């Protein structure tokens, strides 16, 4: 049966217009259709979120390579993924008042001073570190373009463009956040401060280990020692980039 598309007026067969993607069936919009649409949207996000998370925990590098090569329909898109997970994580950690490792570290460093005093003592670098540690969601989202530039420069021979590195690192950040979210129920009941500090330290290393694992699988066509060296180099370049940006901000602040 041929249908005339209600959106672009081209004729097609099947459930969707092959010019613009509009559905053949366009029921009247009413309470039922809106409720159905809402349910469908939430279900679709849920399905993609769970599928992508499972794949990233089982075979991260292979999954991301597959996504870049076009195996995409079951996945939640990379930026939506990290945006939803980091927001969720930030909300839950704020609600359960789990402070982050860096904030604790700085608290310990400046014993007896309030946060605002500590900030002015440490200057701009301290301000930035404090801000980053207390804003997990923003920090995660801000670091992605930087680590992507670093991995793009270090793995230049692998011939992925910058935006493909952006996808890779968004999924890596999402994978890490998913693992942290899964750990939250277990750490929630721990009130002992030193145990919590230990867990936070473990989380930092866990995040790095997950990145190594994913990069190792993702760049599977290059030699093992090269993959490991270039991943280390990626971290070094990223730290240099963060340092340079901090320096530029400091200079700009001095000039104005
Ligand atoms: Zn159409």
User: pLDDT tens across 171-206, in order?
Assistant: 999 999 999 999 988 888 888 888 887 888 888 899
The confidence band for 215, taking pLDDT boundaries of 50, 70 and 90, is very high
The confidence band for 134, taking pLDDT boundaries of 50, 70 and 90, is low
Q: Which of 42-46, 48-52, 173-177 has the lowest mean pLDDT?
A: 42-46
Do residues 146 and 236 touch, judged by C-beta distance below 8 A? no
* Residue 194 pLDDT: 85
Gap from CA of 25 to ligand 1 centroid (Å): 12
| Bridge partner list, 3 | 12
| Bridge partner list, 23 | 16
Residue ranges of domains in the chain: 78-255
Gap from CA of 5 to ligand 1 centroid (Å): 5
What's the pTM value of the predicted model, to 2 decimals? 0.78
* Residue 173 pLDDT: 97
Gap from CA of 22 to ligand 1 centroid (Å): 5
Gap from CA of 157 to ligand 1 centroid (Å): 42
Instruction: Provide the 3-class DSSP secondary structure of residue 3.
Output: strand
The confidence band for 111, taking pLDDT boundaries of 50, 70 and 90, is very low
Gap from CA of 28 to ligand 1 centroid (Å): 18
Read off the pLDDT of each residue in 130-142 and give the average, rounded to a whole number: 75
| Between residues 162 and 127, the one the model is more confident about | 162
Q: Classify residue 205 by burial, with Cβ atoms within 10 Å: 0-12, 13-18, 19+.
A: exposed
């Amino acid at each position: 049966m041929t249908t005339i598309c209600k959106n672009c007026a081209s004729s097609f067969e099947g459930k969707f217009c092959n010019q613009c993607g509009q559905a053949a069936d366009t029921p009247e919009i009413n309470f039922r259709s809106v409720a159905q649409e809402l349910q469908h949207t939430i279900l679709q996000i849920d399905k993609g979120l769970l599928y992508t998370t499972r794949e990233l925990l089982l075979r991260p590098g292979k999954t991301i390579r597959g996504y870049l090569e076009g195996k995409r329909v079951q996945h939640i898109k990379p930026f939506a993924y990290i945006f939803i997970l980091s927001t969720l994580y930030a909300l839950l950690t704020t609600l359960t008042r789990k402070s982050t490792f860096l904030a604790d570290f700085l608290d310990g460093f400046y014993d007896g001073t309030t946060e605002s005093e500590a900030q002015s003592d440490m200057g701009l670098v301290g301000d930035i570190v404090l801000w980053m540690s207390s804003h997990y969601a923003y920090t995660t989202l801000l670091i992605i373009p930087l680590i992507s530039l670093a991995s793009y420069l270090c793995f230049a021979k692998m011939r992925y463009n910058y935006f493909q590195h952006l996808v890779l690192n968004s999924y890596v950040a999402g994978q890490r956040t998913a693992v942290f979210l899964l750990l939250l129920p277990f750490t929630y009941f721990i009130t002992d401060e030193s145990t919590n500090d230990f867990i936070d330290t473990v989380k930092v290393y866990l995040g790095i280990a997950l990145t190594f694992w994913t990069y190792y699988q993702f760049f599977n066509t290059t030699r093992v020692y090269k993959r490991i060296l270039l991943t280390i180099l990626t971290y070094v370049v990223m730290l240099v980039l963060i340092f340079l940006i901090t320096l530029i901000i400091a200079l700009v602040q001095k000039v104005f």
